Amino acid sequence: MVGPWRLGWANGSNMRFSWREKVWLIPVGVAVSVALTGWWCNSEVRRAIEQQLSNELQSMITANVTALNIWIDNQLRFVDSLASEEKIQSLALAVVDRVSKDGAAAEALREYEEVQVLQDYVGPRLQAMRLGFVIIDPEGIIISAPFHGMLGDQLHDEALETFRYIFDTEESVLLTPYKPPRPDPRQMRAGVKGGFGPGEDPRFGGGPGRRGGRRRNRTIMAVAAPIRGTDGSVAAAIGLMIQPEREFTRILSVARSGETGETFAFDQNGVMLSQSRFEGMLQGLGLINDSGPRGSSALNLELRDPGGNLVGGYEPRTPHESWPLTKLVQDAVAGGNGIDVKGFRDYRGVPVVGAWRWLPKYRFGVATKLDAAEAFQPLRVLRLVFLILLLLSVLCGVGLFLFSYFNVMLRRQMEDVALEAKELGQYTLEKKIGEGGMGAVYRARHALLRRDTAVKLLLPEKADAMSIRRFEREVQLTCRLVHPNTIQIFDYGHTPDGIFYYAMEFLDGINLRELIQLEGRLQEGRVIHILEQICASLSEAHETGLVHRDIKPANIIVCDRGGLADMVKVLDFGLVKSCCDDKATSTEATHAFTIAGTPQFIAPEAVSRPDRVDQRSDLYAVGLLAYYLLTGGHVFDGESAFEVMQEHASKTPEPPRERLGTSVDPTLENLILQCLEKKPVNRPASARAMVAALHQSSAHGKWTSKEREDWWVAFRARQGERPKAGAPKSSTILEPTLQINLGERTRVAG
């Protein structure tokens, strides 16, 4: 079983940057620092703003409530002073006594001398103050008022409840703003007598009030006090009517903050008692519908949460009456006093911050609020500044990265040009023909021998200690091999400026991956011809004690060389392992506890026990390669390298005949499947034994020398000026060589 190992590709990208070339990391680091600083500053500034807002809102609500209390106390003291005046007391008590004794009707009250005297005494005093008045008896009957038409009537329910409170508690009381019912037209004809200006609504239960021929939508509030008899009991009550927009609303509007701040009052039903700062906006939003010339939100607006910002274009799907009360009102009517600087929606749906206080003595609440956008404007400016700095830093980073990238690309091109004109000992580099994880391969020419040579370079930026040891080891081990099907090494050295290189024979051919891409799957005779040569090369390596460990299509070159068409060359011994090396050397150079190879061409034991890899692991890879040449596809094709390795370790391969849907030479197919056995002991005994088995196939020899020569003639004709393959790349994008470090994980045997 394959464990959850960390994967690392041995052949990485050739684009490497030095620290000098990574100067673009500086602005990126600055951007990260700016982002972190901005986040911290945002949190700290928001906390400071919230604390400041909390203090300001607390001060504002306290100041407004204090101002209201002072104003209400003044009104109550004034009405108390009227109620305690001897003349008012005596006249009111006289009227109450006559009504009690005579049971006088409303018409009779108008004839009482005491009523007329009372009206004439109280009315002029209140006229300059634009205050109305009414005096009632314990039954709630109006016994004195500016309008004669009001005499003998009873107060309507809301006002009557307040006056009954006076008789029960013998205390002065405030009647919160309300809209009186429409008056009886008879009262309008009765006229006004007393201290009221035109247009005033003169009683708690109604009254005409006209100005300019249009009814004025009037809101009334009042203060009332008991009138005591000679025995000290409450015999009557006097109430003074106040226009709330003149006093009440004005007091609440004094302490407005900014462009959006407002303070308002509301009752236990969430109805606004004072005027909103946003009268015109509310009418435009359809929240109030008042056609009067002095249309007001007072008593017309219920403070409900629409669920979204109406000012910003939000369109609620439910009617206004189904919306819940705003958070502020819900908390206040429950008796709570609070401050919220985190943000909540007001009756317009606009996010606001605010404070509120419930006044149980007067049975209404007071709130002050400010739009969150205005409250946190300094924070928005700060965020904008940090965003600009962040964007500038990112742009600088991107600019420097692009500059570094193109600088490196230009430098690499210049290096390539310089290298192509460079002499490495007796070798003059002419043209780059390949590049891989260990370095670049150039076509070169020997100064004296005048022959084409392939020179592999280990460039200075890749020349760390481990890479140099591996590079040297590849040369030293490959030099032991002299088989014609193994690439030949001619020379090795390094220049004074630190470029390590070795020279090998130049191969003018095509690798097997390119061949399959060009031809598709190969005929059985040609597959056998290629496999024989690969096994012959491996036979020498195995008998020398070497394991290739990276047999794959990209590492096998087929060429037309020395009159031998379709000649195979096995190359790239970069991952070769010597079975004769001592433990220290092997571990250091080839990483004994490292999975090495290419996922599609790796043996099961290389996955589960990489330290147990031997020559039979190469034979497993030969079987995979034979399957690839015969069918044109890999044995296993998983979604990832890990999945492919899992399949190698546990999944049974599909026979080639089933994959192709046609018959396959039984000897060849059986040999391939034998190579793909999970247990090494069940595979062919050696590469030499595989060569012998291939000779037994009925397809052996069917790829004749004439066919080989004809194919290469046609191939050269098709290719025309095609660049020569030379020494192939040591890795490809499709078949990356894999190394997995197992030094720090727990090995799971498979």
Q: Tens digit of pLDDT for each residue in 615-667?
A: 999 999 999 999 999 999 999 887 788 888 888 888 899 999 999 999 999 99
Spatial distance between the Cα atoms of 316 and 306, rounded to a whole number of angstroms: 6
164 three-class SS: helix
At residue 218 the predicted structure's pLDDT band, cuts being 50, 70 and 90, is low
Q: Of 304, 286, 297, 285, which is closest to residue 249 (Cα–Cα)?
A: 297
Spatial distance between the Cα atoms of 77 and 171, rounded to a whole number of angstroms: 11
At residue 687 the predicted structure's pLDDT band, cuts being 50, 70 and 90, is very high
Residues 6+ apart with CB under 8 A from 179: 217, 218, 219, 220, 299
pLDDT of residue 24: 56
Average pLDDT over residues 133-155: 79
Average pLDDT over residues 582-607: 61
The amino acid that residue 38 corresponds to is: G
Residue by residue, DSSP assigns 273-329 as: -S--TTHHHHHHHTS----STT--STTT-B-B--SS-TTTT---SS-GGGSPBPHHH
Q: Of 448, 477, 472, which is closest to residue 547 (Cα–Cα)?
A: 477
Residue 746 predicted with pLDDT over 60: no
Determine what percent of the chain is predicted with pLDDT higher than 90.
Answer: 25
What is the homologous superfamily of the domain 415-504 according to CATH? Answer: Phosphorylase Kinase; domain 1 (3.30.200.20)
pLDDT of residue 104: 61
Compute and round to an integer the Cα radius of gyration of the chain: 51
Spatial distance between the Cα atoms of 235 and 233, rounded to a whole number of angstroms: 6
pLDDT of residue 676: 92
Residue found under tokens 């509120």: 356
pLDDT of residue 15: 42
pLDDT of residue 500: 83
Residue 586 predicted with pLDDT over 70: no
Picking from 174-188, 382-396, 585-599, which range would have the lowest pLDDT averaged per residue? 585-599
Residue that wins the pLDDT comparison between 658 and 574: 658
Residue 502 predicted with pLDDT over 90: no
pLDDT of residue 184: 54
Residue 115, both tokens? 């009523």
The Cα-based distances of 133 to 104, 121, 680 in angstroms read 21, 12, 114
Residue 478 predicted with pLDDT over 60: yes
Residue 397 predicted with pLDDT over 90: no
Domain ranges of the chain: 247-375, 415-504, 530-705
Angle, alpha carbons 666-672-675 (nearest 5°) = 140
C-alpha dihedral, 556 to 559 to 565 to 569, nearest 10°: -40
pLDDT of residue 181: 63
Residue that wins the pLDDT comparison between 258 and 104: 258
**Is 214:173 a contact under the CB 8 Å cutoff?**
no
Residue that wins the pLDDT comparison between 551 and 299: 551
pLDDT of residue 595: 54
* Per-residue pLDDT tens digits for 536-547: 999 998 998 888
Same fold, 415-504 and 530-705: no
Average pLDDT over residues 515-532: 94
Residue that wins the pLDDT comparison between 142 and 722: 142
With respect to CATH, is domain 247-375 assigned 3.30.450?
A: yes
Average pLDDT over residues 93-115: 76
Residue 136, both tokens? 């009632």
Residue 642, both tokens? 């890990």
Q: Looking at the domain that runs over 530-705, which CATH code has it been given?
A: 1.10.510.10
Residue 164 predicted with pLDDT over 50: yes
Residue 292 predicted with pLDDT over 70: no
Picking from 165-169, 176-180, 645-649, 727-731, which range would have the lowest pLDDT averaged per residue? 727-731
pLDDT of residue 194: 37
Residue that wins the pLDDT comparison between 193 and 319: 319
At residue 419 the predicted structure's pLDDT band, cuts being 50, 70 and 90, is low
Picking from 395-404, 406-415, 495-504, 694-703, which range would have the lowest pLDDT averaged per residue? 406-415
Spatial distance between the Cα atoms of 99 and 110, rounded to a whole number of angstroms: 12
Spatial distance between the Cα atoms of 260 and 276, rounded to a whole number of angstroms: 11
The Cα-based distances of 397 to 18, 30, 32, 37, 477 in angstroms read 16, 9, 11, 18, 46
Average pLDDT over residues 499-523: 90
Residue 553 predicted with pLDDT over 90: yes
Residue 729 predicted with pLDDT over 60: no
The amino acid that residue 598 corresponds to is: T
Residue 509 predicted with pLDDT over 80: yes
pLDDT of residue 332: 92
Spatial distance between the Cα atoms of 441 and 506, rounded to a whole number of angstroms: 10
Spatial distance between the Cα atoms of 325 and 334, rounded to a whole number of angstroms: 12
At residue 420 the predicted structure's pLDDT band, cuts being 50, 70 and 90, is low
The amino acid that residue 197 corresponds to is: G
At residue 558 the predicted structure's pLDDT band, cuts being 50, 70 and 90, is very high
Helical pair 666-675 and 687-695, crossing angle rounded to 10 deg:
170
pLDDT of residue 408: 67
The amino acid that residue 464 corresponds to is: D
550 annotated active-site: yes
Residue 243 predicted with pLDDT over 90: no
Residue 455 predicted with pLDDT over 70: yes
pTM: predicted TM-score of the whole model, two decimal places? 0.50
Average pLDDT over residues 69-96: 88
pLDDT of residue 295: 53
Spatial distance between the Cα atoms of 684 and 617, rounded to a whole number of angstroms: 11
Average pLDDT over residues 548-558: 90
Residue 701 predicted with pLDDT over 60: yes
**Is 575:548 a contact under the CB 8 Å cutoff?**
yes
For 489, half-sphere exposure in the C-beta direction (CA atoms, 13 angstrom radius) is 20
pLDDT of residue 188: 46
Spatial distance between the Cα atoms of 119 and 122, rounded to a whole number of angstroms: 5
Q: What is the largest CA-CA distance in the chain?
A: 149
pLDDT, the chain, mean: 78
pLDDT of residue 10: 36
Residue 418, both tokens? 């310089």
For 391, half-sphere exposure in the C-beta direction (CA atoms, 13 angstrom radius) is 6
Residue by residue, DSSP assigns 333-385 as: HTT--EEEEEEEE-TTS-EEEEEEEEETTTTEEEEEEEEHHHHTHHHHHHHHH
pLDDT of residue 206: 41
pLDDT of residue 7: 34
Residue by residue, DSSP assigns 618-652 as: HHHHHHHHHHHHHHSS-S---SSHHHHHHHHHHPP
Residue 52 predicted with pLDDT over 80: yes
Residue 209 predicted with pLDDT over 50: no
**Is 638:649 a contact under the CB 8 Å cutoff?**
no
Residue 740 predicted with pLDDT over 90: no
- Out of 137, 346, 371, 550, the active site residue is 550
The amino acid that residue 592 corresponds to is: A
Burial 75-91, CB ≥16 within 10 A → b, else e: bbebbbebbebeebbeb
